[in-house]
Chains A and B, each alone.
Chain A
């Protein structure tokens, strides 16, 4: 027999730990249909049951404030789970109970999983499981997910809940119940068949002002419609009173309260100081390692390449494949990393010797940052300055993801609440934040001229981001400045989780990035082999040499930038450029177009009109900044 279970809870309560522990390695990640929000599905066997488990994005309320939260609600309404497991953090159980009451309106069997019970005990918070069960009328299980304790009991409780059927929803005061029943009855008629069973739940959404079901308001009798908002307020207040009652019966506190704050948390609310410290910390760790790797790692791969790899590949290919276009595609006409542009020579070197080792390390660092609880703190520090650029502190999280890859960054803007904020964050990301693979290439290519040029490039890009952000805030109207964020406790990142993330991201680079890297190299190779390069150079020379003061052939690198920017930067290695020229070329490659991957994502997220606007902004910025740098280089 099958039981379909959905895991629900606030962010950072240990939902995913429970999920991973229960389902092991057989979990499948997919985007929820019609959205780009990732959800995880897995299976576990217990007694005679096959239990299918769906893990949902962390959610504070069933009244969604972001697309990620919308997905959670859609999963409940559309997937028809047999049982909901509500995961809560034992150390802050009172506020989680509000959501338990919200979930109980659904009429779906619920199991409450009270996680981190050990930490609660250490803090002197004692929770009576039996009493909580009595009060709520649903099975309650305590667990310590990181140690796997209590998870078998959780599965048994799921089976029990499934066998016993739905919980009765909570009972409010007579007046409120009567009003809700009137609403429920009239909307039941209008609801599509599959939603009829949720009529009670939808009635509560309606009085709370939910956007999706707002259309139903018009059919509510006028006498009630008039006071809909008051009913909503009563509903919230009655829920709060119920939570407080349950809490006082279930929890006893035996120790004086201790704050969860650490020194650094105080610092993170102090604007200027906070930003300075947080930013310096991040940069030091990330770029310290990048710099070190560049120093250590640059010579070794080149040495390996010239002494062993290329001679070997070249001799084999030249032995079996006659001279001609095919041989040229594989190993190029001349030797050298940047000269040959063969798939087996330059292609393999770019991917496996240059990009891969470094992005492995960088993605690992990104994973550690994400799992440590650092990013929400960064969001707090950056709230004020980001407000001036039309965003809120929350936008820092997608932007950090964007330093890995704009595709991921643009997708994660879905956690943001405002449309304006989403479009500005996405524009700034594709415009001025180079992806990890491109940054690695920049370090290789620009690093040869000295670290100062890398620093200069970052200063230029940062200034552009700030300037364009300030302008966009004034051009795009509306937007919200609200910030309401929870700071999770600092956590020691779990090696397993960080490795898993790194693995997924690197695999993604191998699957979707590498074919494009190779395609880029192939195009260059053919452009040189067929002589098309001269036509292209000629065509774009008014811009490349006229405005940007670069050799005309560099135009090809900028065009390849529309495919993959890391290859585009890599190609620059074959030209003899002055430091300022190299800086100009890399700047315009970064600014001028989105790469094909980010283009597709921006298009699907924002539609053709806004995508074209973004590209126009990019190209205009590239023209201006490139011309300015061009002037500098000709001085």
Chain B
């Protein structure tokens, strides 16, 4: 998906953009971990880098996650940074 209004996985997100987390598709154990790091529905994420890993900013903190973990987080194209 490229820049449309639809939902996409965080692992496919584009550098420099801002997205909103729509839902998390993970086990409760993983979801709980994501939650304590601010990766929960409703939050805005800024994508600072998407290469071998994904670097994002959420709730004023910088997080880095691998693509597999990032693919469990579904975001919507919010607006341009």
Residues of A within 8 A of B (CB): 10, 60-61, 63, 65, 91-92, 94-95, 98-99, 102, 123, 125, 207-210, 229, 232-233, 236-237, 239-240, 244, 257, 259-261, 265-266, 269-271, 380, 383-384, 392-393, 481-487
* Binary interface encoding of chain B residues 12-25 relative to chain A, with 1 for a CB under 8 A from any of its CBs, else 0: 00000000000000
A232 to chain B, nearest CB (A): 4
Q: Is the CB of A269 within 8 A of B52?
A: yes
Q: Is the CB of A259 within 8 A of B69?
A: no
Instruction: Look across to chain A and name the residue whose beta carbon is closest to the beta carbon of B31.
Output: A236
With contacts A229-B28, A240-B35 known, is A486 near B53, CB below 8 A?
A: no
| Any A CB within 8 A of the CB of B36 | yes
Q: Which residues of B contact A383 (CB under 8 A)?
A: 52-53, 64, 66
A7 to chain B, nearest CB (A): 17
Q: CB within 8 A of A482: which of B36, B40, B60, B66?
A: B66
With contacts A92-B59, A94-B38, A266-B49 known, is A63 near B65, CB below 8 A?
A: no
Instruction: Look across to chain A and name the residue whose beta carbon is closest to the beta carbon of B81.
Output: A259
With contacts A208-B32, A233-B31 known, is A260 near B61, CB below 8 A?
A: yes
Q: Is the CB of A65 within 8 A of B33?
A: yes
Q: Is the CB of B68 within 8 A of A481?
A: yes
With contacts A209-B29, A236-B32, A269-B55 known, is A92 near B38, CB below 8 A?
A: yes
Bound Cα distance A10, B35 (Å): 13
Q: Other CB < 8 Å A-B pairs besides A236-B32, A483-B66, A484-B34, 12 of them?
A: A61-B35, A209-B27, A240-B35, A259-B57, A266-B55, A269-B53, A271-B51, A384-B52, A482-B68, A483-B65, A484-B65, A485-B63
Instruction: Look across to chain A and name the residue whose beta carbon is closest to the beta carbon of B54.
Output: A269
Of residues B28, B33, B63, which shows the largest number of chain A Cβ atoms within 10 Å of its Cβ?
A: B28
Q: Which residues of B contact A487 (CB under 8 A)?
A: 55, 61-64
With contacts A63-B29, A209-B29, A233-B31 known, is A486 near B63, CB below 8 A?
A: yes
Q: Ordered nearest first, which 8 A-B pairs have the shortest CB separation?
A: A95-B38, A232-B28, A269-B49, A487-B62, A483-B66, A92-B60, A61-B36, A384-B52
Q: Which residues of A contact B40 (CB under 8 A)?
A: 98, 236, 240
Bound Cα distance A383, B67 (Å): 11
| Any A CB within 8 A of the CB of B46 | yes
Q: CB within 8 A of A259: which of B32, B34, B46, B52?
A: B46
B69 to chain A, nearest CB (A): 5
Instruction: Look across to chain B and name the residue whose beta carbon is closest to the beta carbon of A383.
Output: B53
Interface of B is mostly: mixed
Query: Could you write out 24 A-B pairs with CB less than 8 Å apart?
Result: A61-B36, A63-B32, A63-B33, A92-B38, A94-B38, A95-B36, A102-B36, A123-B60, A210-B29, A232-B32, A233-B31, A236-B32, A261-B62, A265-B62, A269-B51, A269-B64, A383-B52, A383-B64, A384-B52, A384-B53, A484-B37, A485-B63, A486-B63, A487-B55
Q: Is the CB of A60 within 8 A of B36?
A: yes
A297 to chain B, nearest CB (A): 39
Q: Is the CB of B61 within 8 A of A60?
A: no
Q: Which residues of A contact B32 (CB under 8 A)?
A: 61, 63, 208, 232, 236
Q: Which residues of B contact A237 (CB under 8 A)?
A: 41
- Counted as pairs of residues, one from A and one from B, with CB atoms less than 8 Å apart, the total is 131
With contacts A383-B53, A481-B68 known, is A486 near B61, CB below 8 A?
A: yes
Q: Which residues of B contact A392 (CB under 8 A)?
A: 66
Q: Is the CB of A61 within 8 A of B33?
A: yes
With contacts A233-B28, A261-B62, A265-B55 known, is A484 near B46, CB below 8 A?
A: no
With contacts A233-B28, A236-B28 known, is A91 near B60, CB below 8 A?
A: yes
B70 to chain A, nearest CB (A): 9
Bound Cα distance A487, B55 (Å): 9
| Any A CB within 8 A of the CB of B3 | no
Q: Which residues of A contact B42 (CB under 8 A)?
A: 240, 244
Q: Which residues of B contact A239 (CB under 8 A)?
A: 35
Q: Is the CB of A265 within 8 A of B35?
A: no
Q: CB within 8 A of A483: which of B28, B38, B51, B64?
A: B64
| Any A CB within 8 A of the CB of B48 | yes
Q: Is the CB of A261 within 8 A of B57?
A: yes
Q: Is the CB of A236 within 8 A of B35?
A: yes
Bound Cα distance A259, B46 (Å): 9
A460 to chain B, nearest CB (A): 27
B68 to chain A, nearest CB (A): 6
Q: Which residues of B contact A65 (CB under 8 A)?
A: 33
Q: Which residues of B contact A92 (CB under 8 A)?
A: 38, 59-61
Q: Which residues of B contact A91 (CB under 8 A)?
A: 60
Q: Which residues of B contact A99 (CB under 8 A)?
A: 36
Q: Which residues of A contact B41 (CB under 8 A)?
A: 237, 240
Q: Which residues of B contact A94 (CB under 8 A)?
A: 38, 59-60
With contacts A94-B38, A269-B53 known, is A486 near B62, CB below 8 A?
A: yes
Q: Is the CB of B69 within 8 A of A482?
A: yes
Q: Is the CB of B37 within 8 A of A486?
A: yes
Bound Cα distance A87, B4 (Å): 41
Q: CB within 8 A of A266: which of B28, B48, B63?
A: B48
Of residues A63, A99, A207, A383, which shows the largest number of chain B Cβ atoms within 10 Å of its Cβ?
A: A63
A453 to chain B, nearest CB (A): 34
Bound Cα distance A131, B55 (Å): 33
